[in-house]
Amino acid sequence: MILVVLLVCASVVHAQAIEPMPFANHAQELRFQHLTRQLRCPMCQNETLADSNAPIARDLRNQIFRMMQQGKSDEEIKQYLVARYSNYVLYDPPLQPGTWLLWFGPLLILFGGAYAVVIAIRKRHRSDDATAEAQTGNGDDW
């Protein structure tokens, strides 16, 4: 019973955190949703502006809405946010020297981990071979 009450309260709080906006039409609402899903909340680790409940995300959603009302294109809105928060705000940052680590860092970490595992397996195998060789020899060199 208590769990049900907590879930209802949490859903009410979540519904109140992301307030509806007065869109002119359904197409504008879809454009807003699409755009806010392409952008990362600057405060949250890995949440879109559409999903985040952080105060800065709410402010940025309002800013995006105002810029849309002013007739700005999606690219102009993204450029504004990148100028303010860097390429980090984009979920799909452009490939350029400043973003190489974002694009290739996880791959480098994966390869580094695989290399460490291979080295550890080889060392263990060599150690096992040396131990087995020492045990098979009985000291008689005929």
Determine the longest span between alpha carbons in the chain, in angstroms: 96
CA 121 to chain centre: 32
**Which CATH superfamily groups domain 17-94?**
Cytochrome C biogenesis protein (1.10.8.640)
Q: What is the pLDDT of residue 75?
A: 92
CA distance 72 to 65: 10
pLDDT digit of tens for each residue in the chain (142 aa)?
655 444 544 544 444 445 667 777 888 889 999 999 999 888 887 888 888 888 999 999 999 999 999 999 999 999 999 999 888 888 777 777 777 777 788 889 999 999 999 999 988 888 777 676 666 655 555 5
